[in-house]
Chain A
Amino acid sequence: MAQRAVWLIRHEPGTSFGGTVRFSRRYPTVEKRAKVFNGSSYVPVPEDGPFLKALLSELRLLGDDKDFVESRDSCSHINKTSVYGLLVGGEELWPVVAFLRNDMIHASVPLVEQTLSPRPPLISISGISQGLELLFGIQDFLYSGQKNDTELNAKLSQLPDLLLQACPLGTLLDANLQNSLDSINFASVTQPQKQPAWKVGTYKGKPQISISITEKVKSMQYGKQDIADTWQVVGTVTCKCDLEGIMPNVTISLNLPTNGSPLQDILVHPCVTSLDSAILTSSSIDTVDDSAFSGPYKFPFTPPLESFNLCYYTSQVPVPPILGFYQMKEEEVQLKITVNLKLHESVKNNFEFCEAHIPFYNRGPITHLEYKVSFGQLEVFREKSLLVWIIGQKFPKSMEISFSGTITFGAKGHNKQPFDHICIGNTAYVKLHFRISDYTLTGCYADQHSVQVFASGKPKISAHRKLISSDYYIWNSKAPAPVTFASLLS
C-alpha cells in the first residue's frame, strides 16, 4: 500500500509540450518492491519528460484531434475510472491514477503488490484509493483559498517539505496537507499520549464553535408533459471548533421544523464517533413518506483543529424554490424567446443576488435584440452571445416575472462564440444563479442550545446558514433536452 511516484502537471494548451511538470516525487524503496512484486510485468517509472507526453496524450490534452489516432480514438479503448495505462517506451505503465482539476493534472502511480498480468481488478489494489486520496489532499491544499498564480507557486514550493511529512517514504500518512504544515510549525510541542494524529497541537484561547450550513439547490426544469422536472438539495455542514484540551467531545444536533424535508444520504467526517442507525439508513433511494426519520440528527465527534465538513446530506424538498418556464422558437432569421420565473411563496424573498443567464451556443454574435422585462435589468454580451437578466434582491409582490424578446445573430466567427455539444439546434437553457443568506430550503438548522460540549469553559456558539443555486437549469420547452432517468420515471 504505497505510491511509486507523484506528479503535478500544469496543463498549458497551445504550448509546445502542452504542459509542464510543476512537481514530481519518486519513491525508490517502493520502486524496489514494485520490481519484485510485478516480476516480468514490471515497467519502471519513467522520467518526467516521457511521462508528461504519454499522460497528456492519454488524457486527450494535446489538442491535436484532427485525425483519427487508433491508440486514442479506438472504440475499444474505454476508460471508466481515473486510472490509466500509459504507453512509455513501448511498454505500458499501469495503473496511473490521474485527473485534471483547475488546469492541473494530478497523477500518481500506486504500487501493486502482485504481478500485473493479468491485470488485477482495481478494487483489489489498496494503493488506488490511497493515491486518489493523496492527490485530493494535494489539490485541497493548493486550491483552498488560493487566488492567483503567485500564491499557487508559493504553495507548490512548500510541497516537497509537506510530502516529507505526509508521505515520507511512499506510504501516505495524512491526506490533510494543511495538518502536515501545522505539524512542521508545531514541532516543538511535546505531544502527550492519545494525541490524535489528525490533530497536531492543542488550541489555547477563548472557546468558540462555529457551525455553518450551506445548501446548494440544483434543478432541471423542462416545461413538458411527459418529462418530470427534478430538483435536489445538497447540504454541507462546516464546523470550526476552537476548544481547549486534547480530545474535547462535542455533539451537534441538526434540527428540522415541523414541515421540514428529511435529510438523506448523510455522509459524516471520520471524526464522528458514532451514528444513529436511522441516520445511516436514511437514503434518497427509498421513497420518502411521513414515517421517514426527521431528526434531530445528532453528531457526536472530537473536532480537529481546522475547519472541517462535519457532514454532507441531500434532501428532496416538495417544490423547487423558483419555478421557471423557457420557450425559444426560431422564426426565419430571428429567435423568439420567452422566460417566466416564479418564486415559491414559502421561500424567503431576500436574495443576496439573483440572475438568469441566457446563453446562445453554436451561433454567431448577437447583432440585434428587442426585449421587454417585467422586472430587473438586462445586460447584453453581444460577442459572447449571452444575455444576463439581473433580477436583484427581491421578486415583486406577485412573485412572478417575465422576459420576452427577439434576437438576431450574425455570422459565426471562428472560435469566438461558445460551442456546446448539448445545445444543438433549439436545445437551449436558462441558468439561474442566486444566493439567500440565513436560510435553508430544507429548513435545517443547528440548534445552538442543543450543542453539547465536554470541555473546559463554555464556548460561544455561532451558527450560519445559506442557500446557493448550483446547476439550476430551465430548458427550452420547444426542443429536446437532456433528460435523466429519474425524470422519465416520475
Chain B
Amino acid sequence: MVGTGRPLAAGKLSASSPCVLGPGLYTPFRRDVTCLLTMGPLNREAWARRLAAFRASPSTFMARAESEDLGLDLLSDLRSDKLSEQTKVSLLALSLEYSDKLWPDAPAAEAAVTSLLDTLILLPPRPSALRRPLLLAATTALVAGGALGPTSEASCRLLPLLLRLASGQDVGRAFGPTAEQHPLQATACECLRELESCKPGLLGSSLGLLRSLLGQMGPVQPLSLLLALVLHNTLVAQSRSGVGLQGLLVAGASSTGGSRWDWTLAEEGDAHLQPQAPSWPTAEEGECGLSILEPSPEEARELRAAVAQLLDTSYLLTPVAQAHLLWLLGWAMRGLRGQLPMLFKPQLVRLLGTAQLTLLHSVLALKATFGEALFTTQDEALLLRRLTLAAQHPALPSPTHLFYLHCLLSFPENCPLGPEGEEAAPLLLGPQLCRGLMPSLLHDPMALLAHLHLLCLLCAEDEEEDKGQAQSPRQFLVELLTGLLQRAALGDGPRALATLCFQATYLTASCLAGQPAILTPLIHGLAQLYQARPSLVPHFVDLLDRVGPELGEPLRKVLWQEVVTRPGPGEALGWHLQMLAEVAEGGAQSATLSFLQATAPHCTDWGLQQALLQVCRALLQTSGGDGLADLLQMLARQLEDPDGRDHARLYYMLLAHLASPKLGVALGPSLAAPALASSLVAENQGFATTLMVQETPAPIQLSVGRQKARGPLPVLRLQVEALEAVYSMELRFCVKGQLYEPLEAIHIPCLCPDRPTHPLYLTLKPRRPAPTQLQVQALYTTTTGLTCHAHLPPLSVNFADLFLPFPQSPKGSELSFFEELWDSCLPKGVESRVWCPLGSQGLETLVSQHLEPFVVVAQPPTSYHIAVHLPPHSMLLLRLEAAQADGVPVAIRTDDWAVLPMAGDYLRGLAAC
C-alpha cells in the first residue's frame, strides 16, 4: 500500500513557521520538513501508480482515507535524494494541474508554497530541470488556493523573487548556472503575468521597471506580454477610477529595492477581475463603466512610446503571442483619446497577409475596438475580402474555415445596419464574394450547415434582385435541399444523414419562412421522404414541433394526406399511426376516423393498439365529436388487448363527461413520469393530476383587519392578497369545538396578484362569547384549469372582535340606562375590580382608541361608563373612574362569570396595544 503507515502528524507543515523575507532568500531549513525526510520516500513505481490512480479520477482518489497525505507526501518527496529528477518533474506536473485539490484552502496553499520555495532554494547549484516547474507550481498553488495577498508570507517571498528573476538580477549561486538564467527569467515573467491576471494591479507599481527592462535586454516575448498586461490592467483601472497614470510609466524600480511589496493598486483592482480580452467591445460600450481617459501631454507621450515599443518588437513574438499582445493593447487603448489607434496601422498590412488564425482574429478585435478610427472603408473592404478568402482557402483546415465563416456573419462593420448580436451577412459581402462559400453536398454535416446558413441569409436578402439570373442562389438552395432529402431517403443510410437533412430544413425554414418559392418544393420533398422512409417519423415529429406555422401548417396537411390516403396497412403501420397522432389536426376528421376504423382490425399487437389510441387521444384534444365517440366505443369492445380496451373506454368516458377545455387540460402534457408498464396506469397518473383536486401551497394571504362594530352580529373584516392568479375561489372556515355556529363560505370569482382586492366580511355567530381560531381552506381553479385546494394559516378571532354596542339610549337618560344595566348584573353575575395600566397614553386616548363605540356615559378625562354587548346574550360593564398617572382602577360587572377572566386579560393588555 502506498501512502499509509506514516503518522499524520509528521506531515503537518506549518504556515506560520518563521521565514526570512526580502533580500535573504535562504530560509532556514525547517524542522518539520526534516521530519518528513526521515519517513523515507516512495519509490518511482509506487509514485507512478499513485499518480495514475489519482489522475484516473481525482474525486474518487480524494475520497479515500489515505488521500489526505498526497499533497504532503508530494512536497516532502520533492526533496528526496532517491527519486530521479524526472519523477519529481512528474510530481510537480501533478501539482500544477491539481493544486486546487491537493491544497484546497489558503492555509494549506500557503504552507505548500512555502515548502516549494524552500525546495527551490535547497537545490544544489547545478543545472536542474526542477527550477522552472517549482516556480510554476508555487505560483499555481498560491493562486488556486486563494492565498495570494498582502498578509500571506508566501506571497511576500514569491513576488520579490519572481520580480528579481524576471529583471535578470543576480539572485545568487543557488539559482543554478548562468545558462539556466535565461529560461528562468522567462518563466518568472510568465508567473508574474499569471499573478497579475488573477490580481490586477499587483505589478502596477513595477510598470516603469518592466518598461526599462524591455528596452535593455531580452527575453522579448515574456517581457512584452507581461508589460502589455500590466499596462492594460493599469489603464483599465485608471479609467475606472478616472485618475491619470500618475507617472507609473516612468517610475523607477521601486519594488525590487528590498522595500515591502506595494499592494495598493492590487487592492484597488480587487473589486473587478479585469477581462484581458473582454467581450466584443462594441456590445459593451457604456456598460463597463470606463470613462474616457485624457492623459496629460507628458503621459500621452510616454504611453505612446511604450505602446510603440511593444508593437515595434512584436514581430519577434510567436504568432499566438503577437495576437495576445494586440488584444491586450487594443482593449487598453480604447478609452484613450488621441491618435493612439494609428500606432497599430503599420502592423496591419503584415498581419493581413497571413491567415494565421489567432492573428486574423486579433485584427478583427482591433476592428471591433476602433472601427473607423483605424479602418477606413477601403481597409474594411480589404479585411472583409481577406476574411472571405480565408474562410474558403483550400490550404486551411475545416475548423478554421468554419470559425472564419462565423466571423464573417458577426463581422464588426463600421456602419452596421441590422440588429446587434444577430448573425447576418455584412453589407459589403455581395453574392460575388460569396461564390466560393456556397454549401455543397460534399461538405461534412457541420460545414454544410454553416454554409447553408450563409446561403439562406443571402436568399433572404436579395429576394428581388436575382430574378434575372439563370442560376439564382434560391434555385441552388432548392436543388441542394433536394439532394439532402434524397440522401436521407437512403434505406440503410446512417441516422446522421437524416438528422442533417432535418437540420437543413429547420435552418431554411427559420431563415426563409416567408418564401413560398423555397418552402413549397421543400414540403413536397419532405412528403416524398416520408413515403420512402416512414421510420423517420420521430424526426418529422421533432421538426413539426419546432418550426413555425409557415412550414408547419402546410407540412402537417401534406403528411396527413400521405397517411390517410395510403392503400391498406403495411409494415410501417406503427409509424403511420405515430405520424397521424402528430398531424391529425391538419386534415378533416371524418377522413381520419375512416382511416382509423379501417386500420383498427389490423392493430393486433399492444404497440399498434397504443399507437392507434394515441391518435384518438390527439383527436380528443383537438375536436371530439360523434364519430370519435363511436370509434372509441367500438375500440372499447373490439380491441384484443385488455389494456387497449380499458384505454379506449377511459377516453370514451372522458369524451362523454368533460367539456372540451377541461378535456384539453386533462390530456395535456402529464407531469407524472410514464415509467410504468401499462400506459393506462401511467396516463391515469396524468389524469389524476388534472382531474382530481390537488393540494397546493396557499395561493393567497389572508389577514384580519379592523372593523367597526355594528349590527346584531360581529363581523370579521378580511384582507386578501393574491400571490398568483386564481379563479372561482371558495374560502371555507371552520371553528374548532362548538363555540360558534358553522360559518358560511365566501366566494370570489377571480383574484390577480397585480389587481387591488376588496375586503371580505365574515359574519360570526358565537354560541358563547369567547375568542377562537378559524381554520381556513381555499378551493380554487388555476389558470391552467386545474382544481386545487390549500390550507391557509389559521385566523385568530380575538375577544375584542366580538364586542358590540348596546342600542343607543335616548339623550339624557344614558346614566340611568347604564345604572339599570349595572344593577341587573347581580346577583346572577359577578363583580370585580382590576387595575388597567395606562402606559404613556392617557385614559382619554385609551378609550378613544379601543372602547369609543361602547361608551355610554363619558366625563372626560377622568370618568367613563362603558357597556359592551357580547353575543349571543352576555354583557360586560366597565366603570373607569379616578384615573391616575400610570393607570386607572376599573370596576367590572358582567352577567356571565365566564367572561370575567377574559375581560381582565383584555384590560391589562390594552396599554400594550
Of A203-211, A264-272, A331-339, which stretch is located at the interface? A264-272
Q: How far is the CA of A129 from the CA of B406 in the complex (A)?
A: 12
Structural contact, A169 and B320, CB atoms closer than 8 A: no
Given A75-B503, A76-B506, A312-B393, is A194 in contact with B220 using a C-beta cutoff of 8 Å? Answer: yes
Assess whether A49 is interfacial by the CB under 8 Å rule: yes
Restricting to A209-235, which residues have a CB under 8 Å from any CB of B? Answer: 216, 218, 232, 234
Structural contact, A197 and B446, CB atoms closer than 8 A: no
Taking CB atoms, residues of chain A closer than 8 Å to B133 are 164
Assess whether A314 is interfacial by the CB under 8 Å rule: yes
Assess whether A396 is interfacial by the CB under 8 Å rule: no
Assess whether B581 is interfacial by the CB under 8 Å rule: no
Taking CB atoms, residues of chain B closer than 8 Å to A170 are 194
Contact with B along A75-91 (1 / 0, CB 8 A): 11111111000000000
Q: How far is the CA of A120 from the CA of B282 in the complex (A)?
A: 12
A480 vs chain B, min Cβ distance (A): 8
Given A174-B318, A197-B316, is A280 in contact with B219 using a C-beta cutoff of 8 Å? Answer: no
Structural contact, B410 and A121, CB atoms closer than 8 A: yes
A248 vs chain B, min Cβ distance (A): 14
B53 vs chain A, min Cβ distance (A): 13
Q: How far is the CA of A281 from the CA of B502 in the complex (A)?
A: 39
Taking CB atoms, residues of chain A closer than 8 Å to B360 are 129
Structural contact, A129 and B324, CB atoms closer than 8 A: no
Q: Please, how many residues of chain A have a CB less than 8 angstroms from a CB on the other chain?
A: 114
Structural contact, B136 and A80, CB atoms closer than 8 A: no
A250 vs chain B, min Cβ distance (A): 15
Assess whether A330 is interfacial by the CB under 8 Å rule: no
A4 vs chain B, min Cβ distance (A): 11
Restricting to B438-468, which residues have a CB under 8 Å from any CB of A? Answer: 438, 440-442, 446, 449-450, 453
Taking CB atoms, residues of chain A closer than 8 Å to B324 are 1, 126, 130, 171-172
Q: Which of B143, B449, B539 has the most CB of A within 10 A?
A: B143
B243 vs chain A, min Cβ distance (A): 24
Taking CB atoms, residues of chain A closer than 8 Å to B218 are 191-195
Q: How far is the CA of A389 from the CA of B276 in the complex (A)?
A: 59
Assess whether A133 is interfacial by the CB under 8 Å rule: yes
Taking CB atoms, residues of chain B closer than 8 Å to A421 are 487, 490, 493-494, 497
Assess whether A13 is interfacial by the CB under 8 Å rule: no
Structural contact, B406 and A195, CB atoms closer than 8 A: no
Taking CB atoms, residues of chain B closer than 8 Å to A123 are 280, 361, 364, 368, 406-407, 410, 412
Assess whether B538 is interfacial by the CB under 8 Å rule: yes
Q: How far is the CA of A168 from the CA of B364 in the complex (A)?
A: 27
Structural contact, A81 and B450, CB atoms closer than 8 A: yes
Assess whether A422 is interfacial by the CB under 8 Å rule: yes
Choice from A76, A312, A488 contacting B476 with Cβ under 8 Å: A488
Assess whether B14 is interfacial by the CB under 8 Å rule: no
Structural contact, B322 and A80, CB atoms closer than 8 A: no
B51 vs chain A, min Cβ distance (A): 11
For B477, the closest partner residue in chain A by CB is: A485
Given A75-B506, A168-B190, A267-B390, is A28 in contact with B93 using a C-beta cutoff of 8 Å? Answer: no
Choice from A134, A160, A270 contacting B354 with Cβ under 8 Å: A270
Taking CB atoms, residues of chain B closer than 8 Å to A133 are 319-320, 356-358
Structural contact, A196 and B436, CB atoms closer than 8 A: no
Assess whether B722 is interfacial by the CB under 8 Å rule: no
B192 vs chain A, min Cβ distance (A): 11
B410 vs chain A, min Cβ distance (A): 4
Structural contact, A172 and B354, CB atoms closer than 8 A: no
Choice from B144, B361, B398, B494 contacting A32 with Cβ under 8 Å: B144
Structural contact, A484 and B440, CB atoms closer than 8 A: yes
Assess whether B492 is interfacial by the CB under 8 Å rule: yes
Structural contact, A422 and B283, CB atoms closer than 8 A: no
Assess whether B124 is interfacial by the CB under 8 Å rule: no
Q: How far is the CA of A419 from the CA of B316 in the complex (A)?
A: 50
Structural contact, A81 and B438, CB atoms closer than 8 A: no
Given A36-B273, A187-B183, is A126 in contact with B321 using a C-beta cutoff of 8 Å? Answer: no
Structural contact, A485 and B542, CB atoms closer than 8 A: no
Contact with A along B299-335 (1 / 0, CB 8 A): 0000000000000010111111111100110000000
Contact with A along B855-891 (1 / 0, CB 8 A): 0000000000000000000000000000000000000
Q: How far is the CA of A270 from the CA of B225 in the complex (A)?
A: 18
Q: List 26 A-B contacts (CB under 8 A).
A: A1-B276, A26-B97, A28-B97, A47-B57, A68-B542, A70-B542, A75-B543, A75-B546, A80-B405, A122-B403, A128-B403, A129-B361, A134-B320, A169-B194, A173-B190, A190-B182, A197-B317, A198-B317, A272-B354, A275-B353, A419-B493, A421-B490, A482-B483, A484-B438, A485-B471, A486-B435
Binding site for B on A (CB under 8 A): 1-2, 24-29, 31-33, 36-37, 47-49, 60, 65-68, 70, 72-82, 97, 99, 113-114, 120-130, 132-134, 136, 160-161, 164, 168-176, 179, 183, 187-198, 216, 218, 232, 234, 236, 265-270, 272-275, 277, 279-281, 283-285, 312, 314, 362, 419, 421-422, 424, 482-486, 488-489
